[in-house]
Amino acid sequence: MIKTANRIANVEEYYFSRKLAEVRGLDTPELRVINLGIGSPDQAPSSNAIDALIASAKNPANHGYQNYKGIPAFRKAIADFYQTTYQTTIDPETMILPLMGSKEGIMHIAMAFVNEGEEVLIPNPGYPTYSSVANLVGAKLRPYDLKEDLNWGIDIAALKKSDLSKVKIMWVNFPHMPTGRVASRAELKELVDLAREHQFLIVNDNPYSLVLNDNPMSILSIEGAEDVALELNSLSKSHNMAGWRLGWVAGKKELIEAVLKVKSNMDSGMFLGLQHAATEALKNGKEWFTSLNKVYAERKAVAQQLLDILGCTYSNDQSGLFVWAKAPAHITDVEKWIDEILYGTKVFITPGFIFGEAGRRYIRISLCCTVESLNQALTRVDAFLKKSAVSDLSTAKA
C-alpha cells in the first residue's frame, strides 16, 4: 500500500459521505428511507435560472475556459444582491471571487492565509469542514464554545481573556448551523474589533442568511470589517441550487487577490452557463424568499411535532434549514439512539456529535423534506416509540 501524506492522518471522510451510503442501503421499495439528515434543498431553482442555463448551454461559443474571476455580469449581480439584501456596497470589480459554493472557499482561504502551526478558531458546535480543513493545512485547532445558556452565542468575554496572539483565522457562521442562532450587529462588531486588535482574519460563512431569517446581515456591513473580514456566501440554500455549486467570497481587494492566487492554481474558471444562471437567480426578489420561507415554516411546524414525540427540547427562534434540539435526559448515548430510530423506522436524523463535542446531547432535523414525508416520519417514530415502550415493559416484568 502506498503511504498516504501525513496531512490526511487526522482527517476522516466526511460523515455524510459515509453515513448516507449506509442509509441508502436500508432503502427498499416496501419501506423507503426518510432522510431528515442533510440540508440539500429539495425544491426547484427559479425558472429564469434554469432557462438561462439551457439557453447558454445551447450556444457553441459558451463552452470554453472562463475568466478566473467570473464574468462582470455575475459579479455585478452579486454586488447588487449585497446592496439589496444587506445594504452593503461592494465593488464588483475587485471585491468578489466566484466559487463552487461556500465549502470550497473554506479550503482556499485556509490555504491562502494559514501557516502550519498557526491557530484557527472554530465554532463548537459547528460545520465540520472548518476543522477538517484546519487539519489539512496543519493548523492548530482552537474550538470555541457556543453556549446554550447564551442562546448559542459566543462567550466573547472568555475569548478576550484567552491568548489570541497565534490566531490566524476565526471562522464564524451566522446564521449558525446547526443551532440556528442569528448574531446581533453588536456581537459582530465586538468580534470584528477583536480581529482588528489581534490582527487575525475573521470569516463569516453566510449561506443561510435568507432562510427563515428576518434580518439578513453581512459581516462586511460592520464598521471596521473591511481590513480584517471576508464573507463566504452561496446560492445552495437560499436559491435551491446546492448541486449547481455556486457561491462566492467577498471582501477587500488584497484579501480576495490572495484567495485567487490559490484558486487559480486549482481550477480554471466556472462554466459560463452556470454564471448566466446564477446572474438570473440573483435577481429573484422578495416574493421568491417569501414563498420559500412559507414552505420551510410549514415543515418546521411538523418537524417540531416530531421532536415533541421524541421528547426533545428546542428553541422556537431558529434560522436556517434545520431544527436543533436537545435529546431527552434519559438518553445516555444520542448517536446510538439515532441509530436505533434509523434501524427501527428508516427515518434518518443527524446526531449532533458530528458538529463537535458541544453537540453530543443534540440532534438536528433538516427541513429539506416535504410535509408529507415529515408526517410519515412522525407516524413511524410514534409507532416505534410505543412498541419500544411495550417491549421495555415486558422485559421489566420478565
Ligand X SMILES: Cc1ncc(COP(=O)(O)O)c(C=O)c1O
Residue 39 or 251: the one with the smaller Cβ distance to ligand X is 39
Q: By CB neighbour count within 10 A (0-12 exposed, 13-18 middle, 19+ buried), where does 201 fall?
A: buried
For residue 378, the minimal CB distance to ligand X (Å) is 24
Residue 105 or 384: the one with the smaller Cβ distance to ligand X is 105
Compute CA 252 distance to the chain's CA centroid, rounded to the nearest angstrom: 23
For residue 205, the minimal CB distance to ligand X (Å) is 5
Q: Which of residues 226-255 bind ligand X (CB under 6 A)?
A: 234, 236, 242, 247
Which among 96-104, 292-300, 332-340, 351-359 is the span making contact with ligand X, rule CB under 6 A?
Answer: 96-104
Residue 242 or 258: the one with the smaller Cβ distance to ligand X is 242
Indicate whether 171 belongs to the interface with ligand X (CB under 6 A).
no
Indicate whether 124 belongs to the interface with ligand X (CB under 6 A).
no
Say if residues 322 and 366 touch (Cβ distance below 8 Å). Answer: yes
For residue 320, the minimal CB distance to ligand X (Å) is 8
Among residues 127, 174, 248, 348, the one that binds ligand X under rule CB under 6 A = 127
For residue 391, the minimal CB distance to ligand X (Å) is 37
Residue 173 or 209: the one with the smaller Cβ distance to ligand X is 173
Indicate whether 180 belongs to the interface with ligand X (CB under 6 A).
no
Comparing every residue's Cβ against ligand X, the nearest one is: 101
Indicate whether 144 belongs to the interface with ligand X (CB under 6 A).
no
Residue 231 or 280: the one with the smaller Cβ distance to ligand X is 231
Which among 99-107, 115-123, 195-203, 344-352 is the span making contact with ligand X, rule CB under 6 A?
Answer: 99-107
For residue 127, the minimal CB distance to ligand X (Å) is 4
Residue 92 or 101: the one with the smaller Cβ distance to ligand X is 101
Residue 39 or 70: the one with the smaller Cβ distance to ligand X is 39
Residue 204 or 345: the one with the smaller Cβ distance to ligand X is 204
For residue 390, the minimal CB distance to ligand X (Å) is 38
For residue 71, the minimal CB distance to ligand X (Å) is 19
Rounded to 5°, angle at Cα 283 from 279 and 288:
130
Count of residues interacting with ligand X (CB under 6 A): 13
Indicate whether 39 belongs to the interface with ligand X (CB under 6 A).
yes
C-alpha torsion angle, residues 73, 78, 79, 85 (rounded to 10): 140
Among residues 45, 98, 101, 356, the one that binds ligand X under rule CB under 6 A = 101
Residue 364 or 380: the one with the smaller Cβ distance to ligand X is 364
Q: Whole-angstrom Cα distance, residue 118 to residue 199?
A: 13
Q: Which of residues 303-362 bind ligand X (CB under 6 A)?
A: none
Residues lying near ligand X in the complex (CB under 6 A): 39, 101-103, 127, 173, 177, 205, 207, 234, 236, 242, 247
